[in-house]
Amino acid sequence: MKEPEPINPYAAPKAQSLLAEDGKLAALPPRLRSVKWATFVFGAFTLIMGVLYWQEMPIFDRVLLLPIGLGLSLFGGRRKIAYFVNSGILALLAIIITWQLFLKWLLDGAFAKVFMLDRAFEALMCCLLCYLSYRYTFGLPSRRYFGVAREEAKTESPI
């Protein structure tokens, strides 16, 4: 049995790499479900908005944020810029859709015109988008995945 090496606080820091101690490539943990779902949402919204607004899309429309989010989600990897930009786009998307749904229900009298099942489906999709935005932005596994989680100082209380 091999004894663990004592920790020397004065030693130079070791380089962090993807290589394990035996020289083989260490496997990265798989993508999180929230990251996969965010990629799906960006792709679906990009496809839908691209089909709907192909001819009449202004240059500075919020719809143009969707392909940026899709590209960062697919090719950004674990970069912090991908986390921050995609978190902002997801939050903006959730706020805009929630606001538009609220105004549609409030001003159009939407409950009197269609079945309640349609309204329930819209509310469910809106809640799921808000939950995805929350899990992607504030979820601890997501923040650890992208390397932006704060490591709290573990100090023992004197009491």
Q: At what angle do helices 80-107 and 116-138 cross, to 10 degrees?
A: 160
pLDDT value of residue 15: 58
Structure tokens at 81: 């810029």
pLDDT 10s digits, 144-158: 889 888 765 445 555
Between CA 94 and CA 71 the distance in angstroms is 19
From 78, 48, 77, select the one nearest 63 (Cα to Cα).
48
Q: Any residues with CB less than 8 A from the CB of 124 and at least 6 apart, and which?
A: none
pLDDT value of residue 3: 73
pLDDT value of residue 153: 45
Q: How many Cα atoms are found within 13 Å in the side-chain-facing hemisphere of 2?
A: 3
pLDDT value of residue 58: 57
Q: Name residues of the chain where pLDDT drops below 50.
A: 153-154
What pTM did the predictor assign?
0.70
Between CA 143 and CA 139 the distance in angstroms is 6
Between CA 41 and CA 147 the distance in angstroms is 23
